[in-house]
Amino acid sequence: MLALKTLQELRGGEVTLDELLTKHGYGLPSRDRNFLRQLLGSTLRHLGEIDAILAPRYHPPQDRTANRLTNIMRLGVTQLFFMDVSEHGAVDSTVNLARDAGLHKYIKLVNAVLRGLQRDRLELPDGVEDWQLNIPAWLRGVWKKAYGADEMRDIARASLGHAKLDISVRDAEERAEWAEKLGGTLLPTGTIRLESGQRIRDLPGYKDGKWWVQDAAAALPATLFSHYEGKTIYDLCAAPGGKTMQLAARGANTIAVDKSEGRLRRVFENLERVGLGAAIVTGDATALAADAPVADAVLLDAPCSATGTIRRHPDILLRQNDALMKALLPIQQKLLLQADKILNVGGELIYCTCSLQPDEGEFQVKSFLADHPNYQRKPITADELGGWDEAITDAGELRILPIHMAEMGGMDGFYCARLVKTRA
């Protein structure tokens, strides 16, 4: 029932899968919690395929039970074809779910459809690949326009994969030591990469605050400032705090701002665990107080569609759409304007998003520079990335794609630009 409840709450809402799993999975034994995560993650990654498999056999009823019944069928197909669950168990558990949900009159239908699929096996439409079904058409269209048909296909395939476990070490000089202790790979950019599926809290060094979980792409922006020690650096939209910890670890007087008190509580807890400090401000980063301290530098990881993180957050495929993405554009613009208000002349502004959409990255920076001739780009160089140059654009920005570092497990999609305020 928790899997069904979560799917129902995901559609069309701002709440994320991780938030719902925390809410609904609280108190569950770890085995049940892991199964719930796997079931929902697999359903969301394969949702297009699942609906295509069901389409010839299942026609939703024309009543208010339609959405619930469809989600029950989806969970059944997931267990039949995309999880290591016995076919008998998959059918029986789905029939029982329909019964528990009070959909007694559809139990025979659920049983018949799943028994038929069990007999006839998985069938996709001729000439259609799984990525064409699982990545929504609006998203494929944006990626094709931005990157071309071939790269769009590769990005789509990579986005449907599973991400590795990446960690950032508090003390940079200890990276090689911790890579060896944890049995991980030290990436050129300084991130340690491990195989996913491990229980994070049980790994060496976690309880001692030696490191934190942070995707390799997300860890790059905070490393690109020219100066840290004793400088006042804002981390706007700071939660969950990975970048805040990076800045504090390098000696910056860090001010972490986020409008979510609950998410900032997590930032505080993370800082406390790793033994670092920062000023934490609860509030809308588009409207900081008039007496807010002036900044030597600003890191703006703007709220976005997060389409670069589908590997880690497959619920984006269900929750996100073009209209919601476009509604974020004016917020990103307001945040850039706020960053300008607090930034000292000579200071650096790093703007980044975990989106693959150019509207939220390249176009935002281009527009900001057109309206602010007192800013200029400061190109990012391979030397700053440990020699890694795969994602550096001709403009000196980062456009990281899920297909980058493919031989090491790929990356989250990310965009990053570094700007300098040359005059008031």
| Residues annotated catalytic, as ranges | 354
The two three-digit tokens of residue 275, written as one number: 């033994």
Strands 343-353 and 375-377: unpaired
Q: Is the CB of residue 213 less than 8 Å from the CB of residue 166? A: yes
Alpha helices in 15-148, H assignment, sequence order: 17-25, 30-45, 47-54, 66-81, 87-100, 107-120, 130-134, 137-147
The two three-digit tokens of residue 130, written as one number: 């799984």
User: What Cα–Cα distance (Å) separates residue 279 from each residue in 247, 253, 264, 286?
Assistant: 12, 8, 11, 18
Q: Is 284 annotated as a binding residue?
A: yes
Q: Is 301 annotated as a binding residue?
A: yes
Q: Is 188 annotated as a binding residue?
A: no
Alpha helices in 211-294, H assignment, sequence order: 242-249, 261-274
**Amino acid at the residue 356:** L
Determine what percent of the chain falls in helix, strand and coil, rounding each to the nearest 5: 50, 15, 40
The two three-digit tokens of residue 33, written as one number: 């919690």
3-class secondary structure, 228: coil
Distance (Å, whole) CA 95 – CA 103: 10
Q: Is 389 annotated as a binding residue?
A: no
Q: Is 239 annotated as a binding residue?
A: yes
Q: Is 378 annotated as a binding residue?
A: no
Q: Is 290 annotated as a binding residue?
A: no
List, as residue ranges, the binding site for S-adenosyl-L-methionine.
237-243, 258, 284, 301
List, as residue ranges, the binding site.
237-243, 258, 284, 301
